[in-house]
Amino acid sequence: MLHQSELGDLAEVFEAFVARHCQGSAEDAFNIELKREHSWQVMANARAIAESLALPDAPRRLCVAAGLLHDFGRFPQYMQYKTFHDGKSENHARLGARHLRKERACAGMEARARRLVQAAVILHNRRELPRGISPVLRCLAEVVRDADKLDIIRVMAGHFSSPDASNPVVTLHVKEDPQAYTPALLETILQGKSGNYAAMQWTNDFKILLCGWVSQLTFSRSRTLLDEHGHIHRLLDTLPDLQAMRQLQEVVRTQLRTPLPEPACTQALRQWQG
């Protein structure tokens, strides 16, 4: 349940911003609503992860706020370009940070908290976090990145499980084929490395890339949430019945059963007092 003290005025600011971008066709409205719901779900995931880390109120509010605002740039991105593909438009994380500043969306926050939330928004879609950032920012960004991955898997598992689903905006314009996949991308994932959106050609490539996120999660609670919600299992069930895919399924299921150690940066966020 949402506690108003966690967000202050952010809920109203966010909803008003989304409403201004909810125009056009029924398809446009569907795509905007998809990202609106996604933002709230990521916020809920971020709170669950934060609670598992026993974060005090101030750093927990940072996680909740950054979770809700992480995709702030998706709404102007879609309005201008009619796509969620950064490569065909612009980086939605940087776009989001610009609009957060332009809208003064975080004006109710203390300056240090505002800077941390905006920085986490900028960093949330990076393949890897840069070296040299503070432990507090690193941990905050990792919470948001995990929370985001969990819900993208939910969204895409639902899409790929639907027999009549076809939305190139949602699938980032990859080609549809029930059997085709890119072997090099699968090998990257089986090696425990992060997949690249640019390497995707087929719908199965998108599924493979998402499966690779299990090894990229930072917090043990993220893995248990993913397992408990069941969306990753739905996604695995949509893979073609091929030996290579059965290998991927076994790797993912093993990873889900493997606890993760608490990251060293967690203590810095736990001790942050605003």
Q: 179 and 107 in one domain?
A: no
| Domain-located, residue 150 | no
Spell out the residues 6+ positions from residue 268 whose beta carbon is closer than 8 angstroms to its own. 134, 135, 136, 138, 139
Query: CB of 64 within 8 A of CB of 166?
Result: no
Instruction: Say which residue, 1 or 99, is predicted with more confidence.
Output: 99
Same domain, 93 and 223: no
Domain membership of residue 191 (yes or no) is: yes
Residues 267, 249 within the same domain? no
Gyration radius from the chain CA atoms: 18
On whether residue 157 sits in a domain, the answer given is no
Q: What confidence tens digit (pLDDT) does each residue in 79-136 have?
A: 999 999 999 999 999 999 999 999 999 999 999 999 999 999 999 999 899 999 999 9
pLDDT > 80? residue 5: no
- Report yes or no on 153 lying in a domain: no
CATH label of the domain that carries residue 13: 1.10.3210
Nearest residue to 254 (alpha-carbon basis) of 211, 203, 219: 211
Which amino acid, 162?
Answer: S
Tell me, yes or no, whether 18 and 139 share the same domain. yes
* 172, 107: one domain: no
Concatenating the DSSP letter of every residue in 8-59 gives: TTHHHHHHHHHHHT--SSHHHHHHHHHHHHHHHHHHHHHHHHHHHTT--HHH
Would 158 be classed as within a structural domain?
A: no
Share of the chain above pLDDT 70, in %: 97
Domain count, the chain: 2
Say what the pTM is.
0.94
pLDDT tens-digit readout, 236-259: 999 999 999 999 999 999 999 999
Work out the mean pLDDT of the chain and round it to a whole number: 94
pLDDT at 166: 67
- 132: three-class secondary structure by DSSP: coil
Cα–Cα separations (whole angstroms), residue 190 to 9, 134, 177, 246, 251: 44, 31, 22, 12, 8
pLDDT at 2 over 70: no
Q: What gap in Å lies between CA 242 and CA 227, rounded to an integer?
A: 23
Structure tokens at 216: 């990229």
Say whether both 56 and 94 belong to one domain: yes
- With residues binned 3-state (H G I as helix, E B as strand, rest as coil), the percentages for the chain, rounded to 5, are 65, 0, 35
In a domain, 186, yes or no: yes
Q: Are residues 129 and 169 in the same domain?
A: no
In this predicted structure, the answer to whether residue 195 has a pLDDT above a threshold of 60 is: yes
Residue 216: give the domain boundaries. Answer: 165-256
Domain co-membership, 186 together with 131:
no
Residue 93: what residue type? Answer: A
Rounded to 5°, the CA angle 92-98-103 comes to 120
> Has residue 209 been placed in a domain?
yes
Question: Residues 27, 105: one domain?
Answer: yes
Q: Are 156 and 206 in contact (CB under 8 A)?
A: yes
Quick one: pLDDT at residue 1?
43
Residue 41 lies in a domain: yes
User: Are 141 and 173 within one domain?
Assistant: no
Same-domain status, 174 and 236: yes
Q: Are residues 15 and 101 in the same domain?
A: yes
Query: What confidence tens digit (pLDDT) does each residue in 7-19 have?
Result: 889 999 999 999 9
Tell me: the pLDDT tens digits for 32-84?
999 999 999 999 999 999 999 999 999 999 999 999 999 999 999 999 999 99
